[in-house]
C-alpha cells in the first residue's frame, strides 16, 4: 500500500459548511481574525505565508499545507522558498523530538529496573 493510500478522505466542504452554519457568528469572528493575521504588519504577508507553510507541516494539516502553498505561489513565492520553509519545519520537529528525549532519559533514570 502506498503512503498516499493512507490519506484521510472525506467531504470536508460539506462538513465545514455544516460547522459554519451551526455557529456563523463564531465562524465570522474566526475568519476576521485570520484575515487580520495575514495582513501586512511588522511581518509582510509573504513572510507570514512561509511561516504558515512551515507550521502546517508541523501540525500536519493537509488543507493548510495546500491552501497556504497556493496562496504563496499566487504572490510569487518560489518553490525554493517553500522548500526551505518546509526544511525549517522539519528541523524544528526533529529538534523537538530530540530535546523531548531528555524527558524520557530522566524518566528512565528515575525508574531503574
List average pLDDT for each run of 10 residues in the chain, which is 113 residues long.
57 88 97 97 98 97 94 98 98 93 93 81
- Give the model's pLDDT for residue 82: 98
- Output the pLDDT for position 10: 67
Domains and CATH numbers, the chain: 13-40 (no CATH), 43-113 (1.20.1290.10)
Tell the burial category of 93 from Cβ atoms under 10 Å away from its Cβ (0-12, 13-18, 19+): middle
Least Cα distance to 38 among 53, 30, 48 occurs for: 48
Whether residue 72 contacts residue 82, with contact meaning beta carbons closer than 8 Å, is answered with: yes
Q: Can you tell me the distance from the alpha carbon of 91 to that of 82, in angstroms, rounded to the nearest whole number?
A: 14
Cα separation, 63 vs 7, whole angstroms: 12
With pLDDT > 90 as the criterion, what percentage of the chain qualifies?
A: 81
Amino acid at each position: 500500500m502506498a503512503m498516499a493510500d493512507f490519506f484521510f478522505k472525506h467531504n470536508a466542504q460539506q462538513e465545514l459548511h455544516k460547522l459554519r452554519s451551526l455557529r456563523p457568528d463564531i465562524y465570522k469572528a474566526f475568519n476576521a481574525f485570520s484575515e487580520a493575521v495575514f495582513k501586512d504588519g511588522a511581518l509582510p504577508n509573504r513572510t507570514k505565508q512561509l511561516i504558515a507553510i512551515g507550521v502546517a507541516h508541523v501540525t500536519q494539516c493537509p488543507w493548510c499545507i495546500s491552501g497556504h502553498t497556493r496562496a504563496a505561489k499566487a504572490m510569487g513565492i518560489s518553490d525554493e522558498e517553500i522548500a526551505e520553509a518546509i526544511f525549517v519545519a522539519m528541523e524544528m520537529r526533529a529538534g523537538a523530538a530530540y530535546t523531548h528525549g531528555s524527558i524520557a532519559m530522566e524518566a528512565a533514570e528515575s525508574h531503574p529496573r
